[in-house]
Amino acid sequence: MYRFEKKSPLKIAVLISGGGTTLKNLLEKRRDAALDIDVRLVVSSSSKATGLRFAEEAGIPQEVFLAKNYADTKAYSEAIFQRCRAAEVDLVVLGGFLKRLVVPEDFANRVTNIHPSLIPSFCGKGFYGHHVHEAVLDYGCKVTGCTVHLVDNQYDHGPVILQRTVAVLDDDTPETLAARVFEEECQAYPEALQLIASGNLVLDGRRVRRVSN
């Protein structure tokens, strides 16, 4: 059994690849005192990621790591996690980071991600962004949602921290469904991070349970 240690504030690094909407949401929640985090570092897999501007505006150190500059995924991952170690973060938060990472042993249970479906449905390699919502509609699902989970070394496989559900409407398009799922993501990710910060979570096998201090 693994218990998450209480951290106030929870020191995090946020990894992005594009627009940085997750980063923006977390910074807004921090500003409104709804989330007890200290964003120590923002890492991008692309120098063109527009989300970097949110880090710049907030005065947060930012770095770009290009996968093409490294021999393989392991070397690329190690470079990123070494920078996270230097920033002394408690948790690495993936926010639309589209490159595969190899999680080192010292970061086990210290990396989170959010996925726009109810894992284990519509997840794994190739299931990201609009691909997820298209698959949900093609399958004829009546309910979908989002999942915050711990990251291990398989795609969308780590233990689930929490999930939120969204009804699929008869007239939904991938775009309208994505918008409603994202509204839930904006609540789910901060809620999950606050639970981690509070020390009110334990990991028992694959089950993440809430407990009292």
- Please give the positions annotated as active site: 115
Strand blocks (E) in 53-130: 62-64, 91-94, 111-115
Separation of alpha carbons 208 and 210, rounded Å: 7
Report residue 173 as tokens.
């398009």
Neighbour-count burial of 38, counting CB atoms closer than 10 A to its CB (0-12 exposed, 13-18 middle, 19+ buried):
middle
What is the SS3 assignment for 168?
Answer: coil
Residue 6 is classified by DSSP as P
Note whether 51 and 23 are within 8 A (CB). yes
